């Protein structure tokens, strides 16, 4: 019999309950309010008093209302049919909810139990299997969705029977497995997993090294992220965090994209709802929505389920990784999740850490980021979760707990900067402060030498040096005046501007410029570096600016034209003529 209790106290969404039996930390409970049942999670237990965070508004809740404990933690339901759905933070299918407004206490089953899937067995009778072993697969939006031995099952089992190739519903039995004692377990296509626990069914988690192409030049060329890597994008409001995240999720070379819209604007989620069913995946030509799952907990939806939403998204990501797929997960924004933690910690009257955030904030962030990664599965296949989170630092100040905590955990740092955004240099990623730790990995260097060219890494480093030098020179020009420095200084500065305008800046709203495949990035970087290596002759600094503005203009026109099209080649020839004008012989 499950534990029951009665409401004793209410402060906003923190409810104190007196219980009549055992209760575990993070257990799920339902509070009865009239005909509605409100979902809640156990935060703290002291004797008979249990503190619950309610995932809904507690308006009208009274002392004495009944509470029922469910004897399980917050879980997600995993099975075929997750793709292209829009869930809330507790995995309710938003499309199944009727009515324009979200009614509290309305929950639904996240999958379709009536749909038939064509199942193909992989395992055979007599095979030894364990948690995560592939028993068979169904085709889910052209992805091989593996049906696995449930992750919760411990030990080694033997397949006793498995159904033949055919059409089955998710709750149909597809296999029977037996343990060492001969106990039988019936397996269907659905399993559940508690969201706060990582799914650990891989043998090894090596350092990631494979470039994850995003089509965004400032990432791929300058600060590459890798399959299974982690990155974060901090930035004050208005610097283009969300535009950048959307660009990555549209273009990245991933099999599955999972977007957790956590405590952000509803209209931004609507943009994904509208665009993704229309847009094509640049790598497969199919609709983007087919490979995408959206977990939407917008800022006006219940605060408590914000935390749940990022964990729900991560658990689903781990589920797809276990199938040997490349998953890209985006969370916008992790600061909102941290704020939700702060609100609850405050109501529980815990002693606050910096900026009133809970003391263990950076540990929570680090644990979460560590769930991403590139893994070898037990059958030798590989899978990956690349995770990119955004951070919304209060007042744009990067020395605040969420940014600092994340900086320790994530390996790529894409620092969005107000000054660049004000000058409309988008994406407003600061080229000097941002970094990718992966570029230093020997594994990555080896990989990229084969994928692009052996000189690639040194060329990227040289580009960064020129940018750095350009910045220093600019400061000197500002202090000494245009004519107070040698003409060479102006040339150095303008070479760095060519890199900035042609490589770093990118028009996310232009059809062609928004996506740059890596081959094209290589071509443009070669071209720009060739300009940087050229020695030019000028009589005065005035000529320098005019001349380089013409170069930038032509190169930008190239960025706007189809790669290697007639127009593109025409601009390239024009560029050669301009370069010849001033080239030192």
Contacting other proteins (CB under 8 A), which of 196, 205, 207, 556?
Answer: 556
Contacting other proteins (CB under 8 A), which of 22, 237, 367, 446?
Answer: 237
Contacting other proteins (CB under 8 A), which of 104, 146, 246, 490?
Answer: 104
- The tokens describing 74, both together, are 């917050």
User: What CA–CA distance (Å, rounded) separates 184 from 173?
Assistant: 13
User: What CA–CA distance (Å, rounded) separates 232 from 563?
Assistant: 30
Long-range CB contacts (within 8 A, 24+) of 569-575: 575/527, 575/551
Q: Report the nearest approach of other proteins to the CB of residue 212 (Å).
A: 26
Residue nearer to other proteins on the CB measure, 8 or 205:
8
Contacting other proteins (CB under 8 A), which of 192, 197, 550, 572?
Answer: 550
Q: Report the nearest approach of other proteins to the CB of residue 313 (Å).
A: 15
Residue nearer to other proteins on the CB measure, 77 or 299:
299
User: What CA–CA distance (Å, rounded) separates 559 from 550?
Assistant: 14
Region binding other proteins by CB under 8 A among candidate stretches 119-127, 182-190, 267-275, 404-412: 267-275
- How many C-beta neighbours within 10 Å does residue 190 have? 19
Hey, is 72 helix, strand or coil?
strand
Contacting other proteins (CB under 8 A), which of 186, 266, 363, 449?
Answer: 266
Contacting other proteins (CB under 8 A), which of 3, 58, 91, 317?
Answer: 58
* CA dist 198 → 248, 315, 331, 429, 442 (Å): 25, 7, 17, 32, 29
Contacting other proteins (CB under 8 A), which of 433, 476, 542, 564?
Answer: 542
Q: Are 222 and 464 contacting, i.e. CB atoms less than 8 angstroms apart?
A: yes
Q: Are 160 and 178 contacting, i.e. CB atoms less than 8 angstroms apart?
A: yes
Residue nearer to other proteins on the CB measure, 153 or 295:
295
Q: List the x/- string, 110-149, binding to other proteins by CB under 8 A.
A: ----------------------------------------
Side-chain-side CA neighbours of residue 157 (13 Å): 30
Q: Report the nearest approach of other proteins to the CB of residue 368 (Å).
A: 20
Q: Are 562 and 534 contacting, i.e. CB atoms less than 8 angstroms apart?
A: no
- The tokens describing 520, both together, are 């094209």
* CA dist 186 → 146, 158, 174, 269, 372 (Å): 17, 12, 8, 39, 31
Residues 6+ apart with CB under 8 A from 74: 26, 28, 41, 90, 194, 195, 196, 308, 311
Region binding other proteins by CB under 8 A among candidate stretches 145-153, 430-438, 455-463, 550-558: 550-558
Contacting other proteins (CB under 8 A), which of 22, 24, 48, 95?
Answer: 95
SS3 labels along 222-280 = HCCCECCCEEEEECCCCCCHHHHHHHHHHHCCCCEEEEEEECCCHHHHHHHHHHCCCCE
Residue 253 β-bridge partners: none
Site for other proteins in 481-510 (CB under 8 A): 481-483, 509
Site for other proteins in 10-39 (CB under 8 A): 10-11, 16
Region binding other proteins by CB under 8 A among candidate stretches 137-145, 151-159, 266-274, 366-374: 266-274
Side-chain-side CA neighbours of residue 122 (13 Å): 17
Q: Report the nearest approach of other proteins to the CB of residue 329 (Å).
A: 19
- The tokens describing 570, both together, are 């025409």
Q: Report the nearest approach of other proteins to the CB of residue 293 (Å).
A: 14
Site for other proteins in 142-201 (CB under 8 A): none
Site for other proteins in 62-91 (CB under 8 A): 62-64, 86
Site for other proteins in 323-342 (CB under 8 A): 336, 339-340, 342
Q: Does 265 interact with other proteins (rule: CB under 8 A)?
A: yes
Contacting other proteins (CB under 8 A), which of 8, 169, 283, 471?
Answer: 8
Residue nearer to other proteins on the CB measure, 272 or 325:
272
Q: Report the nearest approach of other proteins to the CB of residue 508 (Å).
A: 9
Residues 6+ apart with CB under 8 A from 517: 213, 215, 282, 563
User: What CA–CA distance (Å, rounded) separates 288 from 85?
Assistant: 12
Which burial class, exposed, middle or buried, applies to 558 when counting CB atoms under 10 A from its CB (0-12, 13-18, 19+)? Answer: buried
Site for other proteins in 278-307 (CB under 8 A): 296, 298-301, 303
Contacting other proteins (CB under 8 A), which of 57, 200, 367, 576?
Answer: 57
Hey, is 116 helix, strand or coil?
strand
Site for other proteins in 343-402 (CB under 8 A): 343, 346, 352, 355-356, 392, 394-397
Contacting other proteins (CB under 8 A), which of 188, 283, 557, 579?
Answer: 557
Q: Report the nearest approach of other proteins to the CB of residue 470 (Å).
A: 15
Region binding other proteins by CB under 8 A among candidate stretches 135-143, 248-256, 419-427, 435-443: 419-427
Contacting other proteins (CB under 8 A), which of 229, 231, 263, 405?
Answer: 263
């Amino acid at each position: 019999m499950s534990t029951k209790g009665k409401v004793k106290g209410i402060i906003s969404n923190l409810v104190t309950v007196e219980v009549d039996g055992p209760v575990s930390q993070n257990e799920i409970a339902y509070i009865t309010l009239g005909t509605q049942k409100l979902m809640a999670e156990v935060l703290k237990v002291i004797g008979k008093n249990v503190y619950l965070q309610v995932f809904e508004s507690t308006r009208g809740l009274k002392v004495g209302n009944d509470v029922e404990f469910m004897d399980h933690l917050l879980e997600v339901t995993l099975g075929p049919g997750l793709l292209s759905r829009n869930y809330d933070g507790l995995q309710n299918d938003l499309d199944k909810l009727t009515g324009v407004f979200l009614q509290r206490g309305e929950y639904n089953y996240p999958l379709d139990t009536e749909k038939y899937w064509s199942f193909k067995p992989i395992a055979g009778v007599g095979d030894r299997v364990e948690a995560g072993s592939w028993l068979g697969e169904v085709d889910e939006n052209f992805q091989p969705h593996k049906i696995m031995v449930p992750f919760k099952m411990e030990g080694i089992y033997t397949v006793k029977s498995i159904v033949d190739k055919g059409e089955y519903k998710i709750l149909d039995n597809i296999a029977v497995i037996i343990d060492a004692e001969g106990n039988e377990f019936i397996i269907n296509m659905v399993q559940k997993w508690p969201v706060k626990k990582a799914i650990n069914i891989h043998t090894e988690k090596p350092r990631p090294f494979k470039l994850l192409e995003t089509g965004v030049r400032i990432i791929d060329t300058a600060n590459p992220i890798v399959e299974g890597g982690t990155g974060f994008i901090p930035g004050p409001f208005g610097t283009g965090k969300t535009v950048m995240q959307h660009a990555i999720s549209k273009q990245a070379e991933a099999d599955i994209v999972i977007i957790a819209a956590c405590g952000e604007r509803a209209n931004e989620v609507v943009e994904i709802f509208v665009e993704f069913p229309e847009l094509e995946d640049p790598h497969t030509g199919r609709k983007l929505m087919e490979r995408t799952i959206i977990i939407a907990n917008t800022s006006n939806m219940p605060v408590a389920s914000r935390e749940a939403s990022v964990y729900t998204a991560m658990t689903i990501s781990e589920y797809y990784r276990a199938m040997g797929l490349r998953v890209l997960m985006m969370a916008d924004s992790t600061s909102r999740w941290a704020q939700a933690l702060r609100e609850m910690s405050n109501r529980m009257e815990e002693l606050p850490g910096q900026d009133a955030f809970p003391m263990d904030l950076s540990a929570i962030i680090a644990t979460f980021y560590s769930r991403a990664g590139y893994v070898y599965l037990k059958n030798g296949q590989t899978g990956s979760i690349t995770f990119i989170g955004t951070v919304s630092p209060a007042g744009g100040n990067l020395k605040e707990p969420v940014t600092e905590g994340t900086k320790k955990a994530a390996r790529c740092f894409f620092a969005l900067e107000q000054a660049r955004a004000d000058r409309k240099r988008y994406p407003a990623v600061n080229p000097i402060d941002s970094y990718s730790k992966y570029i230093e990995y020997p594994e990555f260097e080896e990989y990229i030498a084969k994928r692009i060219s052996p000189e690639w890494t040194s060329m990227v480093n040289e580009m960064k040096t020129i940018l750095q030098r350009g910045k220093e020179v600019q400061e000197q020009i500002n202090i000494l005046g245009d004519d107070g420095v040698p003409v060479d200084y102006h040339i150095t500065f303008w070479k760095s501007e060519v890199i900035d305008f042609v490589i770093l800046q990118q028009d996310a709203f232009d059809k062609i410029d928004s996506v740059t495949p890596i081959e094209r990035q290589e071509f443009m970087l070669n071209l720009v570096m060739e300009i940087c290596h050229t020695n030019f002759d000028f009589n005065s600094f005035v000529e320098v600016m005019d001349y380089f503005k013409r170069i930038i203009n032509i190169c930008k026109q190239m960025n706007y034209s189809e790669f290697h099209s007639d127009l593109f080649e025409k601009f390239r020839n024009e560029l050669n003529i301009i370069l010849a004008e001033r080239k030192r012989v």
